[in-house]
Structure 1
Protein backbone atom coordinates (compact mmCIF):
# COMPACT_ATOMS: atom_id res chain seq x y z
CA UNK A 1 0.00 0.00 0.00
CA UNK A 2 1.00 3.65 -0.26
CA UNK A 3 1.86 5.57 2.86
CA UNK A 4 -0.82 7.25 4.97
CA UNK A 5 -1.07 10.68 6.52
CA UNK A 6 -0.21 10.48 10.25
CA UNK A 7 -2.78 13.20 11.02
CA UNK A 8 -5.96 12.31 9.08
CA UNK A 9 -5.15 8.72 7.97
CA UNK A 10 -5.75 9.30 4.26
CA UNK A 11 -3.53 7.33 1.83
CA UNK A 12 -1.05 9.53 -0.01
CA UNK A 13 1.46 9.00 -2.82
CA UNK A 14 5.05 8.03 -2.10
CA UNK A 15 6.44 11.33 -3.52
CA UNK A 16 3.82 13.65 -1.96
CA UNK A 17 5.29 16.22 0.44
CA UNK A 18 2.00 17.49 1.92
CA UNK A 19 -1.24 15.64 2.63
CA UNK A 20 -3.81 16.70 -0.03
CA UNK A 21 -6.62 16.34 2.55
CA UNK A 22 -5.41 18.13 5.67
CA UNK A 23 -2.11 19.79 4.57
CA UNK A 24 0.06 17.92 7.07
CA UNK A 25 3.75 18.02 5.99
CA UNK A 26 5.04 14.54 5.17
CA UNK A 27 8.72 15.23 4.52
CA UNK A 28 11.52 14.46 7.00
CA UNK A 29 14.46 16.75 7.84
CA UNK A 30 17.22 16.39 5.32
CA UNK A 31 20.47 15.11 6.80
CA UNK A 32 23.57 17.01 5.73
CA UNK A 33 25.56 15.19 3.10
CA UNK A 34 29.24 14.78 4.04
CA UNK A 35 31.51 16.59 1.64
CA UNK A 36 34.05 14.37 -0.12
CA UNK A 37 37.66 14.96 0.82
CA UNK A 38 40.09 16.12 -1.82
CA UNK A 39 41.85 13.23 -3.56
CA UNK A 40 45.56 12.75 -2.99
CA UNK A 41 47.76 14.21 -5.69
CA UNK A 42 49.38 11.55 -7.82
CA UNK A 43 53.17 11.67 -7.94
CA UNK A 44 54.69 12.31 -11.36
CA UNK A 45 56.53 9.22 -12.61
CA UNK A 46 60.29 9.51 -12.77
CA UNK A 47 61.77 8.85 -16.21
CA UNK A 48 64.59 6.33 -16.11
CA UNK A 49 67.49 6.35 -18.56
CA UNK A 50 67.75 3.19 -20.69
CA UNK A 51 71.21 2.31 -22.02
CA UNK A 52 71.61 2.65 -25.78
CA UNK A 53 72.93 -0.93 -26.14
CA UNK A 54 69.77 -2.31 -24.55
CA UNK A 55 67.59 -0.36 -27.04
CA UNK A 56 69.49 -1.92 -29.98
CA UNK A 57 69.06 -5.40 -28.53
CA UNK A 58 65.33 -4.88 -28.00
CA UNK A 59 64.92 -3.54 -31.57
CA UNK A 60 66.68 -6.59 -33.00
CA UNK A 61 64.53 -8.94 -30.94
CA UNK A 62 61.30 -7.24 -32.08
CA UNK A 63 62.36 -7.56 -35.74
CA UNK A 64 62.93 -11.30 -35.31
CA UNK A 65 59.51 -11.77 -33.68
CA UNK A 66 57.82 -9.80 -36.48
CA UNK A 67 59.50 -11.97 -39.11
CA UNK A 68 58.33 -15.16 -37.35
CA UNK A 69 54.75 -13.88 -37.16
CA UNK A 70 54.79 -13.04 -40.88
CA UNK A 71 55.88 -16.60 -41.74
CA UNK A 72 53.05 -18.05 -39.63
CA UNK A 73 50.49 -15.79 -41.32
CA UNK A 74 51.66 -16.79 -44.82
CA UNK A 75 51.47 -20.49 -43.95
CA UNK A 76 47.98 -20.04 -42.50
CA UNK A 77 46.77 -18.14 -45.57
CA UNK A 78 48.00 -20.91 -47.86
CA UNK A 79 46.21 -23.54 -45.81
CA UNK A 80 42.97 -21.51 -45.87
CA UNK A 81 43.08 -21.21 -49.69
CA UNK A 82 43.72 -24.93 -50.08
CA UNK A 83 40.89 -25.79 -47.68
CA UNK A 84 38.46 -23.47 -49.47
CA UNK A 85 39.09 -25.18 -52.84
CA UNK A 86 38.73 -28.66 -51.40
CA UNK A 87 35.53 -27.80 -49.45
CA UNK A 88 33.69 -26.91 -52.67
CA UNK A 89 33.42 -30.56 -53.62
CA UNK A 90 33.15 -32.02 -50.10
CA UNK A 91 29.63 -32.61 -48.66
CA UNK A 92 28.58 -30.39 -45.75
CA UNK A 93 27.78 -32.21 -42.52
CA UNK A 94 24.80 -31.07 -40.43
CA UNK A 95 26.98 -30.90 -37.34
CA UNK A 96 29.27 -28.41 -39.07
CA UNK A 97 26.43 -25.91 -39.67
CA UNK A 98 26.17 -23.31 -36.85
CA UNK A 99 22.71 -22.31 -35.79
CA UNK A 100 21.86 -18.62 -35.70
CA UNK A 101 22.10 -17.07 -32.26
CA UNK A 102 18.82 -15.44 -31.19
CA UNK A 103 18.96 -11.66 -31.46
CA UNK A 104 17.75 -9.59 -28.52
CA UNK A 105 14.84 -7.26 -29.12
CA UNK A 106 15.64 -3.59 -29.54
CA UNK A 107 13.93 -0.96 -27.41
CA UNK A 108 11.72 -0.01 -30.39
CA UNK A 109 10.65 -3.64 -30.86
CA UNK A 110 9.87 -3.98 -27.17
CA UNK A 111 7.72 -0.86 -27.23
CA UNK A 112 5.80 -2.23 -30.21
CA UNK A 113 5.22 -5.47 -28.33
CA UNK A 114 3.86 -3.54 -25.38
CA UNK A 115 1.59 -1.51 -27.63
CA UNK A 116 0.14 -4.65 -29.20
CA UNK A 117 -0.07 -6.58 -25.92
CA UNK A 118 -1.20 -5.54 -22.47
CA UNK A 119 -1.39 -1.86 -21.54
CA UNK A 120 1.35 -0.29 -19.42
CA UNK A 121 0.72 -0.14 -15.68
CA UNK A 122 1.83 3.51 -15.49
CA UNK A 123 -0.91 4.55 -17.93
CA UNK A 124 -4.05 3.48 -16.04
CA UNK A 125 -7.27 4.94 -17.45
CA UNK A 126 -10.12 5.55 -15.02
CA UNK A 127 -13.87 5.60 -15.36
CA UNK A 128 -16.40 7.17 -12.96
CA UNK A 129 -19.25 5.26 -11.37
CA UNK A 130 -22.18 7.46 -10.32
CA UNK A 131 -25.04 6.17 -8.17
CA UNK A 132 -28.22 8.19 -8.63
CA UNK A 133 -30.12 6.63 -5.73
CA UNK A 134 -27.70 7.66 -2.96
CA UNK A 135 -25.94 10.39 -4.96
CA UNK A 136 -22.34 9.21 -4.62
CA UNK A 137 -19.51 8.61 -7.11
CA UNK A 138 -16.15 6.84 -7.38
CA UNK A 139 -13.33 6.54 -9.95
CA UNK A 140 -12.16 3.03 -10.89
CA UNK A 141 -9.73 1.53 -13.47
CA UNK A 142 -11.31 0.87 -16.86
CA UNK A 143 -9.87 -2.68 -16.80
CA UNK A 144 -12.66 -3.58 -14.33
CA UNK A 145 -15.92 -4.81 -15.87
CA UNK A 146 -19.35 -4.99 -14.26
CA UNK A 147 -20.35 -8.43 -13.00
CA UNK A 148 -23.50 -7.60 -11.03
CA UNK A 149 -25.91 -4.70 -10.60
CA UNK A 150 -28.16 -5.09 -7.53
CA UNK A 151 -31.88 -4.79 -8.22
CA UNK A 152 -32.31 -2.03 -5.63
CA UNK A 153 -29.64 0.10 -7.41
CA UNK A 154 -27.58 0.71 -4.28
CA UNK A 155 -24.21 -0.02 -5.94
CA UNK A 156 -22.25 -2.22 -8.33
CA UNK A 157 -19.82 -5.14 -8.34
CA UNK A 158 -16.86 -5.15 -10.75
CA UNK A 159 -13.98 -7.48 -11.58
CA UNK A 160 -10.63 -7.27 -13.35
CA UNK A 161 -10.47 -10.33 -15.65
CA UNK A 162 -6.68 -10.00 -15.96
CA UNK A 163 -5.82 -10.65 -12.29
CA UNK A 164 -9.20 -11.47 -10.66
CA UNK A 165 -9.22 -8.38 -8.46
CA UNK A 166 -12.73 -7.30 -7.39
CA UNK A 167 -14.39 -4.01 -6.47
CA UNK A 168 -17.64 -3.76 -4.47
CA UNK A 169 -19.36 -0.38 -4.18
CA UNK A 170 -22.63 0.35 -2.38
CA UNK A 171 -24.60 3.04 -0.59
CA UNK A 172 -27.15 2.97 2.24
CA UNK A 173 -29.19 5.13 4.60
CA UNK A 174 -28.00 5.63 8.18
CA UNK A 175 -31.34 5.10 9.86
CA UNK A 176 -29.86 2.75 12.46
CA UNK A 177 -26.12 2.32 11.84
CA UNK A 178 -23.47 4.74 13.07
CA UNK A 179 -19.89 5.32 11.94
CA UNK A 180 -18.41 3.99 15.20
CA UNK A 181 -20.69 0.97 15.16
CA UNK A 182 -19.93 0.10 11.53
CA UNK A 183 -16.20 0.60 12.07
CA UNK A 184 -16.16 -1.77 15.06
CA UNK A 185 -18.33 -4.28 13.20
CA UNK A 186 -15.84 -4.43 10.31
CA UNK A 187 -12.95 -5.00 12.73
CA UNK A 188 -14.85 -7.81 14.47
CA UNK A 189 -15.62 -9.61 11.21
CA UNK A 190 -11.99 -9.74 10.02
CA UNK A 191 -10.55 -13.28 10.32
CA UNK A 192 -7.26 -12.59 8.51
CA UNK A 193 -4.31 -10.36 9.44
CA UNK A 194 -5.47 -6.86 10.35
CA UNK A 195 -3.46 -4.08 8.70
CA UNK A 196 -3.79 -0.30 8.73
CA UNK A 197 -7.10 0.91 10.22
CA UNK A 198 -8.28 4.31 11.40
CA UNK A 199 -11.31 6.60 11.44
CA UNK A 200 -12.09 10.30 11.23
CA UNK A 201 -15.08 12.54 11.77
CA UNK A 202 -17.12 11.16 8.84
CA UNK A 203 -15.03 8.27 7.45
CA UNK A 204 -13.07 5.14 8.30
CA UNK A 205 -10.46 3.01 6.53
CA UNK A 206 -9.64 -0.64 7.25
CA UNK A 207 -7.10 -2.90 5.51
CA UNK A 208 -6.39 -6.58 6.05
CA UNK A 209 -4.80 -9.65 4.44
CA UNK A 210 -6.36 -13.09 4.10
CA UNK A 211 -5.32 -16.17 2.12
CA UNK A 212 -2.88 -14.29 -0.13
CA UNK A 213 -5.26 -11.42 -0.87
CA UNK A 214 -5.24 -7.80 0.32
CA UNK A 215 -8.43 -5.92 1.18
CA UNK A 216 -8.95 -2.15 1.38
CA UNK A 217 -12.30 -0.68 2.44
CA UNK A 218 -13.33 2.93 2.95
CA UNK A 219 -16.68 4.28 4.16
CA UNK A 220 -17.88 7.88 3.90
CA UNK A 221 -20.83 9.29 5.91
CA UNK A 222 -22.86 12.41 5.07
CA UNK A 223 -26.45 13.72 5.24
CA UNK A 224 -27.88 10.56 6.79
CA UNK A 225 -26.27 8.32 4.13
CA UNK A 226 -23.09 6.32 3.66
CA UNK A 227 -21.04 5.19 0.65
CA UNK A 228 -18.59 2.28 0.89
CA UNK A 229 -16.11 0.66 -1.48
CA UNK A 230 -13.93 -2.44 -0.95
CA UNK A 231 -11.06 -3.33 -3.31
CA UNK A 232 -9.61 -6.85 -3.12
CA UNK A 233 -6.54 -7.97 -5.10
CA UNK A 234 -3.68 -10.56 -4.95
CA UNK A 235 -1.05 -9.68 -2.35
CA UNK A 236 1.80 -10.02 -4.87
CA UNK A 237 0.30 -7.10 -6.84
CA UNK A 238 0.62 -4.69 -3.90
CA UNK A 239 3.06 -2.36 -5.70
CA UNK A 240 0.80 -2.24 -8.78
CA UNK A 241 -2.40 -1.46 -6.88
CA UNK A 242 -0.90 0.98 -4.38
CA UNK A 243 -0.94 3.96 -6.84
CA UNK A 244 -4.41 2.88 -8.00
CA UNK A 245 -5.69 3.16 -4.44
CA UNK A 246 -3.96 6.52 -4.06
CA UNK A 247 -6.05 7.73 -7.00
CA UNK A 248 -9.35 6.07 -6.00
CA UNK A 249 -9.49 6.96 -2.30
CA UNK A 250 -10.07 10.75 -2.62
CA UNK A 251 -12.54 10.28 -5.51
CA UNK A 252 -15.20 8.72 -3.26
CA UNK A 253 -17.72 11.57 -3.05
CA UNK A 254 -21.10 11.64 -1.24
CA UNK A 255 -23.60 14.51 -1.58
Structure 2
Protein backbone atom coordinates (compact mmCIF):
# COMPACT_ATOMS: atom_id res chain seq x y z
CA UNK A 1 0.00 0.00 0.00
CA UNK A 2 2.12 2.94 -1.24
CA UNK A 3 1.86 6.54 -0.09
CA UNK A 4 2.68 9.55 -2.27
CA UNK A 5 4.33 11.76 -1.40
CA UNK A 6 5.85 10.11 1.66
CA UNK A 7 7.12 13.39 3.09
CA UNK A 8 5.82 16.88 3.74
CA UNK A 9 5.92 20.00 5.86
CA UNK A 10 5.80 19.86 9.66
CA UNK A 11 3.04 22.45 9.34
CA UNK A 12 0.84 19.93 7.54
CA UNK A 13 -1.33 20.79 4.59
CA UNK A 14 0.35 18.38 2.15
CA UNK A 15 -1.94 16.56 -0.30
CA UNK A 16 -1.21 12.85 0.14
CA UNK A 17 -2.65 9.84 -1.70
CA UNK A 18 -2.62 6.31 -0.32
CA UNK A 19 -3.29 3.48 -2.75
CA UNK A 20 -4.15 -0.15 -2.12
CA UNK A 21 -7.16 -2.48 -2.02
CA UNK A 22 -10.41 -2.52 -0.06
CA UNK A 23 -10.03 1.15 0.84
CA UNK A 24 -13.63 2.14 0.03
CA UNK A 25 -15.65 3.71 2.81
CA UNK A 26 -12.56 4.87 4.71
CA UNK A 27 -13.60 6.37 8.02
CA UNK A 28 -10.24 7.62 9.26
CA UNK A 29 -6.65 8.17 8.14
CA UNK A 30 -4.18 8.78 10.92
CA UNK A 31 -0.67 10.23 10.77
CA UNK A 32 0.64 8.89 14.02
CA UNK A 33 -2.07 9.80 16.49
CA UNK A 34 -3.42 12.70 14.42
CA UNK A 35 -6.37 12.48 12.06
CA UNK A 36 -5.95 13.64 8.47
CA UNK A 37 -8.71 15.27 6.46
CA UNK A 38 -10.07 12.87 3.82
CA UNK A 39 -10.63 14.66 0.51
CA UNK A 40 -11.41 11.73 -1.81
CA UNK A 41 -11.95 7.99 -1.49
CA UNK A 42 -12.32 5.04 -3.87
CA UNK A 43 -11.91 1.30 -3.36
CA UNK A 44 -8.25 1.62 -4.38
CA UNK A 45 -7.21 5.01 -3.01
CA UNK A 46 -7.66 7.56 -0.25
CA UNK A 47 -6.62 11.18 -0.71
CA UNK A 48 -6.04 13.28 2.40
CA UNK A 49 -4.56 16.53 3.65
CA UNK A 50 -1.82 15.81 6.16
CA UNK A 51 -2.07 17.18 9.70
CA UNK A 52 0.88 18.92 11.35
CA UNK A 53 3.54 16.73 12.89
CA UNK A 54 7.22 16.01 13.37
CA UNK A 55 9.69 13.23 12.69
CA UNK A 56 8.61 9.92 11.18
CA UNK A 57 5.08 8.66 11.79
CA UNK A 58 3.02 5.70 10.73
CA UNK A 59 0.04 6.34 8.44
CA UNK A 60 -2.95 4.01 8.77
CA UNK A 61 -6.28 3.77 6.99
CA UNK A 62 -9.39 2.64 8.85
CA UNK A 63 -12.39 1.22 6.97
CA UNK A 64 -15.40 -0.81 8.10
CA UNK A 65 -13.18 -3.85 7.54
CA UNK A 66 -10.50 -2.75 10.01
CA UNK A 67 -7.26 -0.77 10.15
CA UNK A 68 -4.33 -1.21 7.78
CA UNK A 69 -0.70 -1.73 8.63
CA UNK A 70 1.18 1.60 8.91
CA UNK A 71 3.17 3.29 6.14
CA UNK A 72 6.05 5.60 7.00
CA UNK A 73 5.61 9.34 6.47
CA UNK A 74 8.41 11.83 7.07
CA UNK A 75 7.81 15.34 8.37
CA UNK A 76 10.34 17.87 7.12
CA UNK A 77 10.98 21.28 8.66
CA UNK A 78 10.94 24.46 6.59
CA UNK A 79 14.25 25.36 4.93
CA UNK A 80 16.61 28.00 6.31
CA UNK A 81 18.75 30.17 4.08
CA UNK A 82 21.91 31.77 5.44
CA UNK A 83 23.72 33.19 2.41
CA UNK A 84 23.60 33.78 -1.33
CA UNK A 85 26.65 34.26 -3.55
CA UNK A 86 26.92 36.25 -5.70
CA UNK A 87 24.16 38.63 -4.63
CA UNK A 88 23.83 40.43 -7.96
CA UNK A 89 24.04 39.78 -11.68
CA UNK A 90 22.85 40.72 -15.14
CA UNK A 91 19.17 41.39 -15.76
CA UNK A 92 19.31 38.84 -18.57
CA UNK A 93 20.08 36.13 -15.99
CA UNK A 94 22.12 33.04 -16.79
CA UNK A 95 24.72 33.22 -14.04
CA UNK A 96 24.98 30.55 -11.35
CA UNK A 97 24.29 31.38 -7.71
CA UNK A 98 25.20 29.27 -4.68
CA UNK A 99 22.75 29.24 -1.78
CA UNK A 100 23.67 27.86 1.65
CA UNK A 101 21.49 27.05 4.64
CA UNK A 102 19.81 23.95 6.01
CA UNK A 103 16.85 21.78 5.08
CA UNK A 104 17.62 22.24 1.38
CA UNK A 105 17.80 18.57 0.37
CA UNK A 106 14.23 18.47 -0.98
CA UNK A 107 14.34 21.86 -2.73
CA UNK A 108 12.28 21.82 -5.92
CA UNK A 109 12.43 25.47 -6.95
CA UNK A 110 14.14 28.77 -6.24
CA UNK A 111 12.25 31.94 -7.14
CA UNK A 112 13.87 35.28 -7.89
CA UNK A 113 10.95 37.62 -7.52
CA UNK A 114 8.19 36.17 -9.70
CA UNK A 115 10.53 34.02 -11.80
CA UNK A 116 11.36 30.47 -10.71
CA UNK A 117 14.25 28.16 -11.56
CA UNK A 118 15.01 24.52 -10.78
CA UNK A 119 18.02 24.14 -8.45
CA UNK A 120 20.80 21.57 -8.33
CA UNK A 121 20.91 20.25 -4.76
CA UNK A 122 24.44 19.41 -3.63
CA UNK A 123 23.53 18.43 -0.07
CA UNK A 124 21.17 19.47 2.71
CA UNK A 125 23.14 22.67 3.24
CA UNK A 126 24.06 23.79 -0.28
CA UNK A 127 22.38 24.19 -3.65
CA UNK A 128 23.18 25.99 -6.86
CA UNK A 129 20.77 27.55 -9.32
CA UNK A 130 20.99 29.33 -12.65
CA UNK A 131 19.37 32.73 -12.21
CA UNK A 132 16.35 33.33 -14.48
CA UNK A 133 15.97 36.59 -16.38
CA UNK A 134 14.61 39.49 -14.37
CA UNK A 135 11.81 41.81 -15.36
CA UNK A 136 13.96 44.89 -14.70
CA UNK A 137 17.02 46.06 -12.84
CA UNK A 138 16.56 46.14 -9.07
CA UNK A 139 16.37 43.99 -5.97
CA UNK A 140 14.05 40.96 -5.69
CA UNK A 141 13.35 38.46 -2.94
CA UNK A 142 14.76 34.94 -3.19
CA UNK A 143 12.42 32.11 -2.15
CA UNK A 144 13.27 28.42 -1.77
CA UNK A 145 10.49 25.82 -1.90
CA UNK A 146 11.07 22.39 -0.35
CA UNK A 147 8.93 19.52 0.88
CA UNK A 148 9.14 21.21 4.26
CA UNK A 149 7.73 24.53 3.13
CA UNK A 150 8.92 27.86 1.80
CA UNK A 151 11.74 30.09 3.01
CA UNK A 152 12.55 33.64 2.05
CA UNK A 153 14.51 36.51 3.56
CA UNK A 154 17.39 36.91 1.12
CA UNK A 155 17.53 39.27 -1.84
CA UNK A 156 19.23 39.37 -5.23
CA UNK A 157 19.90 42.47 -7.30
CA UNK A 158 19.49 42.48 -11.06
CA UNK A 159 21.88 44.90 -12.75
CA UNK A 160 21.57 46.22 -16.29
CA UNK A 161 24.56 45.77 -18.58
CA UNK A 162 26.64 48.95 -18.96
CA UNK A 163 26.79 51.20 -22.01
CA UNK A 164 29.73 53.41 -23.02
CA UNK A 165 30.04 56.78 -24.71
CA UNK A 166 33.09 58.46 -26.23
CA UNK A 167 36.11 58.80 -23.89
CA UNK A 168 37.42 62.31 -23.21
CA UNK A 169 40.14 62.85 -24.18
CA UNK A 170 40.09 60.22 -26.90
CA UNK A 171 43.86 60.11 -27.30
CA UNK A 172 47.04 60.33 -25.28
CA UNK A 173 50.69 59.30 -25.22
CA UNK A 174 51.65 55.65 -25.58
CA UNK A 175 53.57 56.01 -22.32
CA UNK A 176 50.20 56.06 -20.52
CA UNK A 177 49.18 58.24 -17.59
CA UNK A 178 46.28 60.04 -19.29
CA UNK A 179 43.22 60.62 -17.09
CA UNK A 180 40.27 59.71 -19.33
CA UNK A 181 36.64 60.38 -18.48
CA UNK A 182 34.40 57.59 -19.78
CA UNK A 183 30.67 58.39 -19.97
CA UNK A 184 27.97 55.73 -20.08
CA UNK A 185 25.24 54.12 -18.03
CA UNK A 186 25.18 51.37 -15.42
CA UNK A 187 28.71 52.18 -14.26
CA UNK A 188 28.12 52.15 -10.49
CA UNK A 189 29.20 48.52 -10.10
CA UNK A 190 32.27 48.78 -12.35
CA UNK A 191 34.79 46.05 -11.55
CA UNK A 192 37.47 46.71 -14.16
CA UNK A 193 38.49 48.98 -17.02
CA UNK A 194 40.94 47.91 -19.73
CA UNK A 195 42.67 49.66 -22.61
CA UNK A 196 43.65 47.13 -25.28
CA UNK A 197 43.21 44.39 -22.68
CA UNK A 198 45.46 46.02 -20.08
CA UNK A 199 43.91 46.87 -16.73
CA UNK A 200 43.69 50.55 -15.86
CA UNK A 201 43.15 52.14 -12.43
CA UNK A 202 39.78 53.88 -12.26
CA UNK A 203 37.47 55.90 -10.07
CA UNK A 204 33.67 55.83 -10.32
CA UNK A 205 32.18 59.31 -10.45
CA UNK A 206 28.52 58.30 -10.81
CA UNK A 207 26.34 55.75 -12.54
CA UNK A 208 26.98 57.65 -15.78
CA UNK A 209 30.69 58.44 -15.61
CA UNK A 210 34.05 57.17 -14.43
CA UNK A 211 37.67 58.26 -14.76
CA UNK A 212 40.43 55.83 -15.75
CA UNK A 213 44.16 56.39 -16.08
CA UNK A 214 45.59 54.84 -19.23
CA UNK A 215 48.29 52.19 -18.83
CA UNK A 216 51.24 52.21 -21.26
CA UNK A 217 50.24 50.97 -24.71
CA UNK A 218 51.21 50.64 -28.35
CA UNK A 219 50.59 53.46 -30.78
CA UNK A 220 47.22 53.15 -32.51
CA UNK A 221 43.51 52.91 -31.78
CA UNK A 222 42.51 50.44 -29.05
CA UNK A 223 39.32 49.11 -27.48
CA UNK A 224 38.14 50.32 -24.10
CA UNK A 225 36.26 47.69 -22.10
CA UNK A 226 34.33 48.35 -18.90
CA UNK A 227 33.16 45.36 -16.87
CA UNK A 228 30.49 45.68 -14.18
CA UNK A 229 28.42 43.20 -12.18
CA UNK A 230 25.86 43.64 -14.96
CA UNK A 231 28.22 42.58 -17.73
CA UNK A 232 30.76 44.18 -20.06
CA UNK A 233 30.63 46.95 -22.66
CA UNK A 234 33.22 47.64 -25.35
CA UNK A 235 33.99 50.95 -27.00
CA UNK A 236 35.76 49.79 -30.15
CA UNK A 237 38.88 51.77 -31.16
CA UNK A 238 37.69 54.47 -28.75
CA UNK A 239 41.11 55.58 -27.52
CA UNK A 240 44.20 56.26 -29.62
CA UNK A 241 47.69 55.89 -28.24
CA UNK A 242 50.03 58.48 -29.79
CA UNK A 243 53.64 57.66 -30.54
CA UNK A 244 56.19 59.92 -28.93
CA UNK A 245 58.42 62.18 -30.96
CA UNK A 246 61.75 60.93 -32.27
CA UNK A 247 64.77 62.91 -33.24
Which bin holds the TM-score, normalised by the shorter protein? Answer: under 0.3
Higher relative contact order (CA 8 A, sep 6+): 1
Report the structure, 1 or 2, having the larger strand content: 2
Structure-2-length-normalised TM-score: 0.26
Structure-1-length-normalised TM-score: 0.25
- State which structure, 1 or 2, has the greater radius of gyration over its C-alpha atoms: 1
